[in-house]
Amino acid sequence: MSALTGLTGRKALVTGGSRGIGAATALRLAQDGADVAITYVQGEDAARDVVRKIEATGRRGIAIRADSADADAAAGAVERAADGLGRLDILVNNVGVGVLGPLDGLERADVDRVLAVNVRGVFLATQAAAAQLGRGGRIVTIGTCMTQRVPGPGGTLYAMSKSALIGLTKALARELGDRGITANIVHPGPIDTDMNPADGPSAQAQTALTALGRFGGTDEVAALVAFLAGDEAAYITGAEFTVDGGHAA
């Protein structure tokens, strides 16, 4: 796999890498040859399990406890990852929180938390990573299919926060392009995770919105992230990619 994606010896940080898409991405990058650091807030046991799986591939794994809602922690995690791994070549901005509900039911605390994690935390981690990345560096951010299509009410705050990451990605491509650093964003659709299981109460409605009639797997998102992090994607930047089963079709 490493020959395909060109990740042998690369050093990566996956934020929110203790479960779901983040965990699958961390493991895929390790399988393709990268040493990988992950961040987590809760679930230390899950984070340690991901590290063990990374190490089982023969690569180095590091778990860093950091709450992306804390401005200092968001940037500090990048520096800790670079120090622990020796440098940083790849940043995967995976961490995010979703607060869904009617517009008139959203509290200011909800707004502050979602924007702190999904927007400010991502920006600060990216800013810190940009100071660490050398030529050939990669920034891949995880968005959502709800930036492409919002199928019903209740997603205003979440969709707004993730839409900001599209602008961040396109601007980064321009700002970092002369350094040979690429920035891209991946929009997952309904993905089978513990937060949104394929047999959950809303699964049937979500499945009906896709063209393929099923949930995606975390490994399907991770495969695209790994490609974008590798050598073969060196001429791809400022781009949006969907892994949504046709949700936006």
249 belongs to a structural domain: no
Give the type of residue at 227.
Answer: F
CA–CA gap between residue 170 and residue 64 (Å, rounded) = 28
Q: Is the pLDDT of residue 2 over 60?
A: no
Q: Is residue 106 a part of any domain in this protein?
A: yes
Q: Which residues contact 43 (CB under 8 A, 6 or more apart)?
A: 18, 19
**Burial (Cβ within 10 Å: 0-12, 13-18, ≥19) of residue 151:** middle
- 248 inside domain: no
Cβ proximity of 139 and 183 under 8 Å: yes
Cα gap 186→140, rounded to integer Å: 7
**pLDDT recorded at residue 98:** 86
CB atoms within 10 A of CB 4: 13
Residue 68 included in any domain: yes
Average pLDDT of span 86-98: 96
pLDDT digits 0-9 by tens, 166-218: 999 999 999 999 999 999 999 999 999 988 999 999 899 999 999 999 999 99
Statement: residue 3 has pLDDT above 60: no
The stretch 149-178 carries a mean pLDDT of 95
Question: How many domains are contained in the chain?
Answer: 1
Least confident of 1-5, 34-38, 81-85, 119-123: 1-5
* Of the listed ranges 1-10, 81-90, 101-110, 117-126, the one predicted with least confidence: 1-10
Q: Binning pLDDT at 50, 70 and 90, where does residue 91 land? A: very high
Q: What pLDDT band is residue 154 in, cutting at 50, 70 and 90?
A: confident
67 located within any domain: yes
Q: What is the CATH number of the domain that holds 106?
A: 3.40.50.720
Residue 6 inside a domain? The answer is: yes
Asked if residue 97 is part of any domain, the answer here is yes
pLDDT, position 123:
98
Q: What is the set of active-site residues?
A: 158
Residue 6 scores a pLDDT above 90: no
User: Is residue 1 very low, low, confident or very high in pLDDT (cuts 50, 70, 90)?
Assistant: very low
**CA-closest candidate to residue 83, choices 132, 154, 125, 135:** 132
Instruction: Answer yes or no: is 123 within a domain.
Output: yes
- Which domain does 167 fall in, by range? 2-243
Instruction: Please report the pLDDT score of residue 204 as a whole number.
Output: 94
